[in-house]
Amino acid sequence: MAPHTEQLTRPAVRLRGLTRSFDGRTVLDGIDLDIPAGQFVALLGHSGSGKSTLLRAVAGLDHEVTGSGELSAPERVSVVFQDSRLLPWRRVLDNVLLGTDGADKGRAALAEVGLAGRERAWPSELSGGEAQRAALARSLVREPELLLADEPFGALDALTRIRMHHLLRELWERHRPSVLLVTHDVDEAIVLADRVLVLDRGRIGLDLTIDRPHPRSYRDPLLGEYRERLLAALGVTEDLA
Ligand SMILES: Nc1ncnc2c1ncn2[C@@H]1O[C@H](COP(=O)(O)OP(=O)(O)OP(=O)(O)O)[C@@H](O)[C@H]1O
C-alpha cells in the first residue's frame, strides 16, 4: 500500500486489549476498538459500565490503564464534559482561548455555536445550554482531530438538548473530527451517530452501524429497529423504555 493511502486509512483511535481495574475489580476487560478518522461514534452502557473510564483512557487522562497491545489516539484531542468547566473568573472569550492564541479564531468559534456578541459575558451570565455552547467553541478552536464528549447534554432540558444535537451534528459536518460521544440516551445515540457501541461487562457487546441519512428525526420509524436492538443489548424491553 502506498504510504499516503496508509495514512488516510489509519484509524483515529486504535485500542487493543485495553484493560482497567479498580481495587481488583475489572471494569474494562480487553477492549479492541478502531475508530476510523472522521467517524461519529456513540458509546452506550449502563451506569457504571465503564464508559467514562474508556473515554478517559482514550483522552490520555488515565495513566494506570493497561493493555497487551496499543492505545493510540491523535494528538489534537478535545474533551467536553457534562458541565461546561468554564472558569468563572474569565470572560467567555478568554475561556474559549485558554491556552491558545488568536482572538479571531475564538470569536469565529463563538459565532459558530451561536454565541456571537457574548464574548465579554461572564460564565455566570450564561444559561446551561449557552455554557455548553461555549464549551464546544473552546474545543473547536483547538481544531481537534478527535472530539471526546462525556454526556455533554446530560444536564440540559429536553428542548435545549435537541437544539444541541443539531448544533453538534452541524459542527461535525463542517469540521469532520472523529467523535466519541458517551451517552445514556439511546435516542441521542441513534439520531447523532453513524455507529453505536454498547459497553457490557467490560467488552463491546454490540457494534451497530446506523445506516440512515442525516438530518435524522426522532420520529423516523426506520430508526425504531435500531432502537430495539440497542435496548435489547442494554437488557431493556420496549415496554420499560
Ligand atoms: N477512580 C476510581 N476509583 C475507583 N473506582 C472507579 C474510579 N473510576 C471509576 N471507578 C469505577 O469504575 C466503574 C465504571 O465507572 P465509569 O464512571 O467509567 O462508568 P460509566 O459507565 O461512565 O457510568 P455513568 O454512566 O454512571 O457515568 C464504576 O463501578 C466506578 O465506581
51 C-beta closer than 6 A to ligand 1: yes
Rounded CA-CA distance 129/142 in Å is 21
Q: Which atom of ligand 1 is nearest to the CA of 49?
A: 21
Return the CATH superfamily for domain 36-61+144-233: P-loop containing nucleotide triphosphate hydrolases (3.40.50.300)
Instruction: State in Å: Cα 50 to ligand 1 middle.
Output: 6
Q: Which atom of ligand 1 is nearest to the CA of 56?
A: 18
Instruction: State in Å: Cα 163 to ligand 1 middle.
Output: 29
At position 234, the amino acid (one-letter code) is L
Question: What Rg value do the Cα atoms of the chain yield, rounded?
Answer: 18
pLDDT in tens, the chain (241 residues): 444 444 456 788 999 999 999 999 999 999 999 999 999 999 999 999 999 999 999 998 888 877 655 678 888 999 999 999 999 999 999 999 987 888 999 999 999 999 999 999 999 999 999 999 999 999 999 999 999 999 999 999 999 999 999 999 999 999 999 999 999 999 999 999 999 999 999 999 999 999 999 989 888 889 999 999 999 999 987 555 5
Asked if 106 and 50 count as a contact pair (C-beta separation under 8 A), the reply is: no
Domain ranges of the chain: 36-61+144-233, 86-143
Pick the residue whose CA is nearest to atom 27 on ligand 1: 47
27 C-beta closer than 6 A to ligand 1: yes
Pick the residue whose CA is nearest to atom 7 on ligand 1: 22
Its ipTM equals 0.97
Number of alpha carbons in the 13 Å side-chain half-sphere of residue 179:
28
Helix ranges (H only) for the chain are 3-9, 51-59, 92-97, 103-112, 128-140, 158-175, 186-192, 223-233
Give pTM, 2 decimals. 0.92
